Amino acid sequence: MLKLILKNLWARRRRNGWLLAELILVSIVSWIILDPVVVVTHDRNIPFGYDADRLCFVSLSTLQPQAPGYDEQAEDSAVVINSYLNLVRLVENYTGVESATPVLGFCYPNSQGNSNSQLRAEGDTLDLSVMAMHFLPHTRFFETYGFRPGRGMTPEQLSDYNYTQNDIVLTENAVERLFHTKDVHGKRCWYRQGSDTTYLAVTGAVGTFKTYSEWRPVAVQFIPLLSIDMEDTAEDAHILLRLKEGVSMQRFLHEFKPWMVKELRAGNLFARSVQSYDKLIEDGEAGGATAIYRRNLAMAAFFLINLCLGVIGTFWLQTRTRREEVGVILSFGGTPGYIVRLLMGEGVVLTFIAVLTGCLLYLQYALKEGLEKGSGWIDSTETYWVTDFAQHFLIVSFIVFFIMLAVVLIGIYIPARKISRIPPTEALRDE
Reported as a single tens digit per residue, the pLDDT across 386-398 is 989 999 999 999 9
Q: Hey, how many other C-beta atoms are within 10 angstroms of the C-beta on 275?
A: 17
Instruction: Specify the DSSP class assigned to residue 45.
Output: T
Q: How far apart are CA 167 and CA 165, in angstroms?
A: 6
Looking at residue 333, its pLDDT comes to 63
Looking at residue 79, its pLDDT comes to 84
What secondary structure does DSSP assign to 8-32, as a single string?
HHHHTHHHHHHHHHHHHHHHHHHHH
Where would I find the H helices in 207-335?
A: 230-233, 249-263, 277-286, 289-320, 323-331
H or E, element range at 226: none
Phi, psi (deg, nearest 5) at residue 117: -150, 175
Q: How far apart are CA 243 and CA 295, in angstroms?
A: 35
Among 26, 30, 24, 7, which Cα is nearest to 396's?
30
Among 318, 334, 324, which Cα is nearest to 428's?
324
Contact yes or no for 57/145 (Cβ under 8 A): no
Q: How far apart are CA 374 and CA 384, in angstroms?
A: 12
Question: What Å distances lie between residue 149 and 18, 221, 242, 382, CA to CA?
Answer: 60, 15, 17, 18
Q: How far apart are CA 88 and CA 90, in angstroms?
A: 5
Q: Hey, how many other C-beta atoms are within 10 angstroms of the C-beta on 355?
A: 26
Kindly compute the dihedral angle of the four CA atoms of residues 201, 204, 205, 206, in this order, to the nearest 10 degrees: -140
Looking at residue 160, its pLDDT comes to 93
What secondary structure does DSSP assign to 85-132, as a single string?
HHHHHHHHTSTTEEEEEEEESS-STT-S---EEEEEETT----EEEEE
Instruction: Specify the DSSP class assigned to residue 51.
Output: -
Strand partners, 99: 242
Q: How far apart are CA 27 and CA 402, in angstroms?
A: 11
Per-residue pLDDT of the chain (431 residues; tens, 9 = 90+): 667 677 766 767 777 787 888 889 888 988 988 888 888 889 888 999 999 889 999 999 888 888 888 887 777 778 888 889 999 999 999 999 999 999 988 889 988 777 888 999 998 888 999 999 999 999 999 999 999 998 878 999 999 999 999 999 999 999 999 999 988 888 999 998 878 889 999 999 999 999 888 889 999 999 999 887 766 566 788 999 999 999 999 999 999 999 999 999 988 889 999 999 999 888 877 655 566 667 767 777 777 777 767 777 776 666 666 666 666 666 666 677 777 787 788 888 888 999 999 999 999 999 988 888 887 777 888 888 998 999 999 999 999 999 888 888 887 777 777 766 666 555 555 54
Q: Where are the domains of the chain?
A: 2-46+288-430, 55-286
What secondary structure does DSSP assign to 355-424, as a single string?
HHHHHHHHHHHHHHH-----S-SS--SS--GGGSHHHHHHHHHHHHHHHHHHHHHHHHHHHHHHHTTS-H
Among 112, 141, 106, which Cα is nearest to 240's?
141
